Amino acid sequence: MPALPEFELPPYRLSGVVVGALLNHAPALAALDEAVSAPPYKTAPKAPVLQVKPRNTLCGDGAVVEVPGDVDALEIGATLALVIGRTARRVNEAQALDCIAGYGVAADLSVASDAPDRHYRPGVRQRARDGFCPTGSQVRAAADVPSPDALAVSVAIDGVVVHRTDTAGRVRGVARLLADVSAFMTLQPGDLLLLGASHGAPCARAGQQVRVEIEGLGSLHFELRAEPP
């Protein structure tokens, strides 16, 4: 099992618990169109749609991520990482920001798929493989990031920027997401809560270099390499 990456400044040592939001970008939810009314759920989600990235998915800046031989490409979900600094249990929006120690850069990787139910039933094999959650080595103290819901985000592949977005336009912004998640699960210091990728996340293939950058927070670099046969 790979060692946990560590942020450079205390108290940002990771616990190994990473919870990520899915469908938290309003355009991503809107793109589902009538599918949100289809079985099995028959309505748009009313609570946060979450995933857990297991410990084996964590890797650090400069990591090599292996792409399975039966996979054409990986979706690169650039996302803001909320570093929990204080136990968050049933906090409201006004209290939520006080539970965040800082912010970092992360990439939520998944096997690229056009399946109509990929958001409703994401399989472990698509999202929980080794190295599928690269995390930057730097973190910015929360007090130094006054507007976490308005940060520019970019993804570059082989040195060329292929996707520009930002942390705005979320169904739930930073404070509300943490408050709503804490209503039914407790987050502890060192846990990460991922704000969620933007709609239209780009794809990359084995042999390519990826850089994810978030305004004021630095960048994250990793390489995709074909999994040995």
Q: What's the mean per-residue pLDDT of the chain?
A: 89
Read off the pLDDT of residues 115-166 as tens digits, 9 standing for 90 and up: 655 555 556 788 899 999 999 988 899 999 999 999 999 999 999 999 999 9
Give the total residue count for the chain: 229
In this prediction the pTM is 0.91
Question: Tens digits of per-residue pLDDT, 41-91?
Answer: 677 778 898 999 999 999 999 999 999 988 999 999 999 999 999 999 999
Dist. CA 182–CA 87, nearest whole Å: 9
State residue 41's pLDDT score: 65
Complete domains list, the chain, with CATH: 18-34+48-226 (3.90.850.10)
- Interior CA angle at 81 toward 116 and 128, to 5°? 45
How many percent of the chain have pLDDT more than 70? 86
3 state DSSP class of 11: coil
> Is 45 within 8 Å of 204 (Cβ atoms)?
no
- Phi, psi (5° rounding) for residue 174? -55, -55
Asked if 119 and 23 touch (Cβ cutoff 8 Å), the reply is yes
Report d(CA 205, CA 126) in Å as an integer.
15
Classify residue 34 as exposed, middle or buried by CB count within 10 Å of its CB (0-12, 13-18, 19+): exposed
Burial 138-176 (b: 16+ CB within 10 A, else e): bbbebeebeebbebebbbbbeeeeebebbbebbbbbbbb
